[in-house]
């Protein structure tokens, strides 16, 4: 029989649901409902190990550049600044 870690994670998640229900804390019921609504996605994150974290990081950096770019009057220059930043961020180069 093959070991499937997602099964034990699922069992632990169900045990957590039961612990919250047994505790009788209404404030946690909404949190548990959110977990139940996203349960498939949560369990898939353990099974497949994919994450959108790197993309979210790029989006955050882009938003910071955009927020600080009030001096840019032309969109093409803002776009160039963003692209240049993402191309050179892993290099030790001082740009602009």
- Give the pLDDT confidence of 47-83 residue by residue, as tens digits: 887 788 888 999 999 999 888 877 778 888 888 888 8
pLDDT at 32: 92
Q: Please check whether residue 14 is in contact with residue 43, taking contact to mean a CB–CB distance below 8 angstroms.
A: no
- Give the model's confidence band at 96: pLDDT under 50 very low, under 70 low, under 90 confident, else very high: very low
Q: pLDDT of 3-16, one tens digit each?
A: 555 578 889 999 99
Residue 93 lies in a domain: no
For 68, the domain range is 53-88
Cβ partners under 8 Å of residue 40, min gap 6: none
Burial tier of 35 (Cβ tally within 10 Å: 0-12, 13-18, 19+): middle
Cβ partners under 8 Å of residue 27, min gap 6: none
Q: Please check whether residue 62 is in contact with residue 82, taking contact to mean a CB–CB distance below 8 angstroms.
A: yes
Provide the 10 A C-beta neighbour count for residue 24.
8
Same domain (yes/no): 43, 9: yes
Count structural domains, the chain. 2
């Amino acid at each position: 029989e093959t070991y499937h870690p997602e099964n034990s994670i699922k069992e632990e998640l169900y045990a957590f649901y039961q612990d919250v229900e047994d505790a009788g804390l209404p404030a946690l019921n909404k949190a548990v409902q959110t977990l139940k609504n996203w349960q498939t996605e949560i369990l898939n994150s353990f099974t497949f190990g994919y994450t959108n974290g790197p993309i979210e990081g790029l989006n955050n950096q882009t938003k910071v550049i955009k927020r600080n770019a009030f001096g840019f009057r032309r969109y093409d220059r803002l776009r160039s600044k963003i692209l240049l930043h993402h191309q050179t961020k892993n290099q030790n180069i001082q740009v602009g």
